[in-house]
A and B are shown apart, each in its own frame.
Chain A
Amino acid sequence: MTDPVGSTEETGTRDVLTIEGLAISFAQPRPAVNDISVSIRQGEVLALVGESGSGKSMTARAVLGLLPPGARASGSIRFHDQELLGLSERELSQVRGRRIAMVFQEPQTALNPVRTIGWQLREVLRAHGSISRRDARARALALLEQVEIPEPERRIDHYPHQLSGGQKQRVVLALALANEPELLLADEPTTALDVTVQAEILTLLRRIRENTGTSILLITHNMGVVAEVADRVVVLRQGDVVESGGTAELFRAPEHAYTRQLLDSVLTLPEAGDYVHSVPGPEAPAEHPALSYESVSVAYGSSRRGRAFPAVTQVSLDLAPGEVLGLVGESGSGKTTLGRLAAGLVPLAGGTVRLDGEDLFAASAARRRELGRDLAFVHQDPEASLDPRMSVGASIREPLDIHRVGTPAERAARVAELLEAVRLPAEVARRRPRELSGGQRQRIAMARALVLKPRLMIADEPTSALDVSVQADVLALFRDLQKEFGFACVFISHDLAVVNSVADRVAVLRHGEVVESGPVAQVFGTPSHPYTQRLLAAVPVPDPSRRTTEQVVEANRRRAG
């Protein structure tokens, strides 16, 4: 691929940015970017898509000379007719922020917490030219209006912590737009946001492009996001361009096997009307549910000082043996707290949690430890879910060691058995976690969870930190294991499609309360609560012919008005 992608397709508009034969290498054997050629036309939204290690972020960073120390870049990056590679810091500062701006993933850390947002906007405006205080404030207000922040006159004097995550990302966008850049680099701008907020930010990006003609280079791993906003797509894999083309064509007829694989691993939700009133999931003949929450409440913070924050209020849910219950909701909905509650990891403020009919919080410490044998926990973060100092085999064996189950030989045999169950070679047992990939580590975490043959598993976002193709494998493995071992499971996820693919029943949480619950096909197919409907509509659909987020945002606005 030496031809800049798409530069010959249309001649009407000129290229804003042309990247040719870009290669970036570190002191590692494999270069981070091998050979990437991309061009962006005026007013275009170009998506760089790829999984971790594809070089998508490195490419964007190279444009602004923001590569980490030790990285060497070669090739060419032309902005209009100016070569950007090899510019001095001083020359780059003429381009950065003024003509090319960048939006980062995490709005939390992109804003200075001790300054008002007005101060930060003025700072950016004054950094690139003399502008009076009064003009700067007026311009800042105009920018906040442009990114559709309600009541800009009031908000301008607020500090970042007074804003929600979505509003913060709007402010970050306003900062990027302050000097009317011709090109906006957006590195996973919505990844840290909830789906309903993501929908709003994506709409805003589209509107910015329409109103200002700014070109946008959007970096993302999410095919749904690509389908929603991008005009053209470039698929990257391990530092090389795999495929590129117009969004509609690429989604309709992907040419490269890797692109097809990426698209296939995107999980979809049932369509409205897909749901047929079929026989509900496994009927529970057992007298005891595996887990039951009886109007439980959890509060964080000191209740003595009267500042306790209710994380969960009056939730009642039952989980039949062998059933998978999905807990979905946005951040702050209390889904993780509910999961941790079942494991006894957070204090209970009211109500009863029963494991297999037994009151967990009334049990003695020793009895609780016994109950722990029937319960397992799988965490989100594959980096931290295994002790870095222990071999993988020792990690899986640990629950057996704790409860002194069997002889050392029997324990080793059980470890081998479980490694086979999670489809990893037996020799992995001798390795350290850092020698394994994220997906492999999550498999190991599942093997450890299953070693005592638990009747209940709590899985807290077990696949959220994984790439989509890895996620698909791990979810398939989870379904097989669940079928094979027959454990009940509380599956927590913010991703509705993930829950849809593994759960029998689902409970939608919002602000610590259950909004709606029922069989997955029913809740997702014919949602009855407006919040569930909004949540479902906000999920970006990996089909460019059905851009839905615009309608969601409208619905949100109507609700707010």
Chain B
Amino acid sequence: MTTSRQLTRPKALAGLGLVGFVLLLGLVGPLLAPYGPLEQIEGANLVGPSPSHWLGTDEVNRDVLSRTLSGIRLDLLVVFVAVPVGAAIGVLTGLLTAWWNVADVLTQRIFDVVLAFPTLIFAIALSAFIGPGVWTIAIVIVALEIPVFGRLVRTSVRTVREMPYVEAAQVAGAGPLWVLRRHVLPNSLEPLTVQLAVSMSVAVFIEAAMSFLGIGVQAPNPSLGSLIKDGTTLMYDAPFLALGPLALVLVLVLGLLLISQSLSEAHRD
């Protein structure tokens, strides 16, 4: 009810527009792309932006625009699949453990340990075991989001369970699961939506950082992060290579942050 109203504010509209733009590019982009992402074009080595190659070509004669358009898909997967999966697991864990003191203490200490670990160190360590790749990125993001959401929802459980309306339900015979589903979850949705938008923007960052470090998506497959990495190695010869993917990361993160900001502003009103 309130969420639909919040999302019509100018700031939220701008954020939705930016995210929608990137989403659209990722969905229909490969159809528009003039070349295949791995296709090598005769005689087009590191040419600058031109009408035939809007973002130029790379050192092995591939069209950067086509690679960028197909690379978006991986980021969308990370943002709109990995983050929600991590969030869902985190919310469930938090809800179910926060009610019972022993389970709560155990779970929260495990969350502490996970959160205390620097994300990239964890990512590097994980890739040493299971190798780099899309799955590694997904696991890192899911593992990171579980404690973030678990802790957030746990705070709500602890606050809401003390409320008189919860007591009234308990006195009427409601069990913990009833209270969690009917009272706690609805009352913690607002902070959760804000956190979801923030986490999505962080996920874009993590993908870019992991691919940049070479422990994410592997050549020759493109992703925004790996394209930026490729671009920076040739920064002096062909500064245009990294610009397109960088701009897209910027647009996506900015859009998500605008959405989360307007959501949290609306909650304060």
Contact = CB atoms under 8 A, between A and B. Distances in A.
Contact of B168 (A344, A370, A445): A445
Contacts of A389: 183, 186-187
B172 A452 contact: yes
Nearest to A377: B171
B174 interface: yes
Interface stretch (A292-300, A397-405, A508-516): A397-405
A458 B171 CA distance: 10
B163 interface: yes
B182 A398 contact: yes
A402 B181 CA distance: 12
Interface string B170-184: 111111001000110
Q: Classify the secondary structure of B's interface with A.
A: helix
B112 interface: no
B174 A448 contact: no
Interface string A158-185: 0000000000000000000000000000
Contacts of B169: 398-399, 402
A206 interface: no
Interface stretch (A40-48, A119-127, A380-388): A380-388
Contact of B174 (A379, A402, A449): A402
Contacts, number: 67
B207 to A, nearest CB: 35
B interface bracket (residues with beta carbon within 8 Å of A): 10 to 19
Interface residues of A, number: 30
A187 B173 CA distance: 42
Contact of A384 (B164, B170, B186): B164
B180 to A, nearest CB: 13
Interface string B130-172: 0000000000000000000000000000000001110111111
B172 A402 contact: yes
Given A398-B182, A402-B178, A385 B164 contact: yes
A373 B170 CA distance: 10
A560 interface: no
A375 B169 CA distance: 11
A409 interface: no
B173 A372 contact: yes
B183 A377 contact: no
A350 to B, nearest CB: 23
Contacts of B186: 387, 389-390
Contacts of B171: 343-345, 372, 375-377, 458
Contacts of B170: 345, 372
Nearest to A449: B168
Interface string A212-244: 000000000000000000000000000000000
B170, B172, B173, B174 pick with most chain A CB within 10 angstroms:
B172
Given A388-B187, A398-B182, A373 B172 contact: yes
A190 B243 CA distance: 69
Contacts of B182: 387, 390, 398
Interface string A328-345: 000000000000000111
A373 B168 CA distance: 12
Nearest to A384: B164
A449 B165 CA distance: 11
Interface of A: 343-345, 369-370, 372-373, 375-377, 379-381, 384-390, 395, 398-399, 402-403, 445, 448-449, 452, 458
Nearest 5 pairs between A and B by C-beta? A372-B173, A379-B164, A399-B172, A369-B173, A377-B171
Interface of B: 163-165, 167-175, 178, 182-183, 186-187
